[in-house]
């Protein structure tokens, strides 16, 4: 490497005296971090230089109070943390100062995922289910057909809210937006996925009844199952059908029909969309629907055309990516003692 010119050395010294990090200086001057370190030693500069100027807006104790407020006490945002700081320590600062302090402490702001409310009874059922399936391998999960319904809006999402947490920290109660089921322009669809591909997608109308659901199973599920049997070379009895505990799914007329089939039906823990890989496929579908088009659909018919076109472009490899995560999901539920996991 050619020796640095005096101008570049002077530039490195200037940035050092401004308190810039090795990495930042290396990026600005376009040299390696080791070169920056070598120049610092040549110039006899200390590893850290006090820049002087205004004192920090928050003391270490005040910053620790903010961190505890959002990571331990469950405050949801910087505004609430700011109010807590003023009420408890008598310190008044701006919300932006609070946000900077939280970032400086290594916390990150993120969109709060919407998760169903998990009560104590459902927590135990989730934990029991995860323990029952902890020894399943990917080969076992390959036989599962994952089904679900979802609502797709003509104009995008239902809104987002944010929270703060330490990177890698498990989701806690105050990190999620708890929802209940079915809480001008949307379509409710049903489909399923397997190791081999997404299956047929169906517009089930705004109020799907148990009779409509039964027709979907008798027609679209069975056509998909025939397709999967051809792809895999497996018999019907090797497959396991997964559905959640929606009352339409567990109605007597539906249960009677399912019990008459050769495939098995998986017993599913309540309030557990985070254990169902098709939820990830719904997210993938919705992202592509509103990212791949320059403008919203002109009407419901155009939205439906886009849904079908986008859904059938999803590949088997994309389905497999999320199905392969099932062993990790089971472990995560056990580690979370039945509560929320980050899927």
β partners of residue 188: 151
**Residue 17 falls within a domain, yes or no?**
yes
197 with 295, same domain?
Answer: yes
192 with 255, same domain?
Answer: yes
Indicate whether this model's pTM tops 0.85: no
Q: Positive or negative, the Cα torsion across 168, 169, 173, 175?
A: negative
- As for how many domains the chain has, the answer is 3
Q: How confident is the model at residue 54 (pLDDT cuts 50, 70, 90)?
A: low
What are the two backbone dihedrals, phi and then psi, of residue 23, each rounded to the nearest 5 degrees?
A: -60, -45
Phi-psi region of 135 (alpha: psi -120 to 50; beta: other; left: phi over 0): alpha
Q: How confident is the model at residue 63 (pLDDT cuts 50, 70, 90)?
A: confident
Q: How confident is the model at residue 159 (pLDDT cuts 50, 70, 90)?
A: very low
Q: What residues make up the domain containing 86?
A: 60-106
Q: How confident is the model at residue 79 (pLDDT cuts 50, 70, 90)?
A: confident
In this prediction, residue 195 carries a pLDDT of 96
Does 168 or 274 have the greater pLDDT score?
274
**Residue 251 falls within a domain, yes or no?**
yes
Averaged pLDDT for residues 97-120: 80
**Residue 82 falls within a domain, yes or no?**
yes
95 with 140, same domain?
Answer: no
Does 259 or 74 have the greater pLDDT score?
259
In the 8-state DSSP scheme, what is residue 338?
A: T
13 with 95, same domain?
Answer: no
The three-state secondary structure class of 73 is: coil
**pLDDT score of 108 more than 90:** no
Q: How high is the mean pLDDT of the chain?
A: 86
**pLDDT score of 189 more than 70:** yes
**Residue 342 falls within a domain, yes or no?**
no
**Residue 319 falls within a domain, yes or no?**
yes
Q: How confident is the model at residue 269 (pLDDT cuts 50, 70, 90)?
A: very high
**Residue 48 falls within a domain, yes or no?**
no
**Residue 78 falls within a domain, yes or no?**
yes
**Residue 168 falls within a domain, yes or no?**
no
**Of the candidate ranges 126-140, 161-175, 243-257, the one whose mean pLDDT is the lowest:** 161-175
123 with 253, same domain?
Answer: yes
Q: Which of 157, 80, 156, 150 is nearest to 111 (CA)?
A: 157
């Amino acid at each position: 490497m050619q020796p640095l010119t005096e101008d570049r050395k002077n530039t490195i010294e200037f940035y050092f005296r401004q308190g810039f990090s090795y990495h930042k200086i290396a990026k600005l001057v376009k040299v390696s971090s080791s070169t920056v370190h070598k120049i610092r030693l040549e110039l006899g500069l200390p590893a850290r230089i006090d820049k002087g100027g205004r004192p920090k807006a928050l003391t270490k104790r005040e910053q620790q109070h903010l961190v505890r407020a959002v990571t331990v006490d469950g405050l949801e945002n910087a505004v609430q943390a700011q109010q807590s700081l003023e009420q408890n320590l008598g310190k008044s600062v701006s919300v932006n100062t609070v946000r900077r302090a939280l970032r400086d402490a290594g916390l990150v702001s993120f969109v709060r995922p919407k998760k169903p409310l998990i009560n104590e009874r459902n927590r135990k059922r989730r934990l029991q289910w995860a323990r029952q399936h902890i020894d399943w391998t990917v080969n076992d999960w390959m036989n599962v057909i994952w089904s679900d319904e979802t609502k797709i809006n003509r104009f995008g999402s239902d809104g987002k809210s944010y929270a703060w947490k330490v990177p890698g920290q498990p989701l806690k109660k105050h990190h999620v937006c708890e929802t209940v089921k079915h809480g001008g322009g949307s379509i409710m669809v049903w489909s399923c996925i397997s190791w081999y591909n997404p299956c047929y997608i169906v517009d089930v109308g705004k109020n799907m009844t148990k009779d409509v659901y039964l027709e979907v199973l008798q027609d679209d599920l069975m056509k998909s199952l025939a397709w999967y049997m051809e792809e895999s070379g497996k018999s019907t009895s090797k497959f396991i059908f997964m559905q959640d505990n929606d009352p339409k799914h567990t109605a007597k007329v539906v249960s009677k029909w399912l019990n008459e089939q050769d495939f098995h039906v998986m017993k599913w823990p309540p309030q557990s969309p985070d254990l169902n890989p098709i939820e990830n496929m719904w997210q993938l579908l919705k992202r592509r629907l509103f990212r791949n088009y320059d403008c919203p659909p002109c009407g419901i018919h155009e939205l439906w055309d886009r849904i079908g076109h986008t859904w059938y472009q999803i590949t088997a490899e994309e389905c497999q990516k999320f199905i392969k995560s099932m062993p990790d999901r089971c472990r995560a539920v056990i580690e979370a003692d039945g509560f929320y996991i980050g899927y």
